[in-house]
Amino acid sequence: MLAAISEEKLLASSFATIQHLRGSKMIENSDKLIGEQQELWMIERRRKPDDLVIITEKVDGMNAAVLRQGDLLYPLVRKGYDCRTNNHEWIRSFANFVEANAERFIRLLADGERICGEWMVKTHTLSYKLPHEPFVVFDLISGTTRVRYLDFRSRVSAEGFVTTGLVHLGEAMPARMALDILGTGYHGVIGEPEGIVYRYEDARNGFVCSGKYVSNPLLGDLALFRANELLFNKWKTPKQKHSLT
């Protein structure tokens, strides 16, 4: 079910970069702020009373996706390339996870759909002792359409995939309030969680926008972030604990 290795770019991008809310810690030169009006819908007041604000934990890892084409699966990095063409073994290892769980992915995905998440075998700055498998999912995309959050959550939960921890669902909420609710997080981070991700959905048309709020003090130190050796994480399955160290 895993496709042959493709040297070609399979998608322009498997997942778009999320823009920052004001006050979020920016790290890369390419980081941008979300529009002020969109931010206000998420943190102050919804545009319409039946719209939905979803807030989840932001986790550190490699943005990864699994694309289904026909009955074949492609394990991708964010830029739309097959992860098996990457120079780093820990990135290529995502394909091993996809192959081992191919039946779950085939049941989950329709032709042309992709599931997006974080491959947390290694992380940039934060360490985790994961209480679950190392692929944590946050979005399901059909072509260019992002599946509504509640539908996404229902479908991935049916196949036992781990979703980024849900902090809040409903009315707009300030970032600091959401961070207080998040507390120590849901994914075994050692120290403080990285932050939170907002998602805004229109009752009629679905996904409208998303924004992130990075709050962990470690991520404010650019020299540390850029120079730090990638960290191996530990995780466990229901049967046994695994460690790459």
71-95: pLDDT as tens digits: 999 999 999 999 999 999 999 999 9
Residue 81 to residue 225: CA distance in whole angstroms? 24
**CATH of range 19-237; options 1.10.4030, 3.90.640, 3.90.550, 3.30.470:** 3.30.470
Output the pLDDT for position 240: 38
Question: How much is the pLDDT for 229?
Answer: 60
CA 130, CA 179: separation in Å to the nearest integer?
20
pLDDT digits (tens, 9 = 90+) for 180-189: 999 999 999 9
Element at 89 (helix H, strand E): helix 89-100
Copy the structure tokens of residue 209. 């926008």
User: Which of the four pLDDT bands, split at 50, 70 and 90, describes residue 3?
Assistant: very high
Domain ranges for the chain, please list them.
19-237
Residue 100 three-state SS: helix
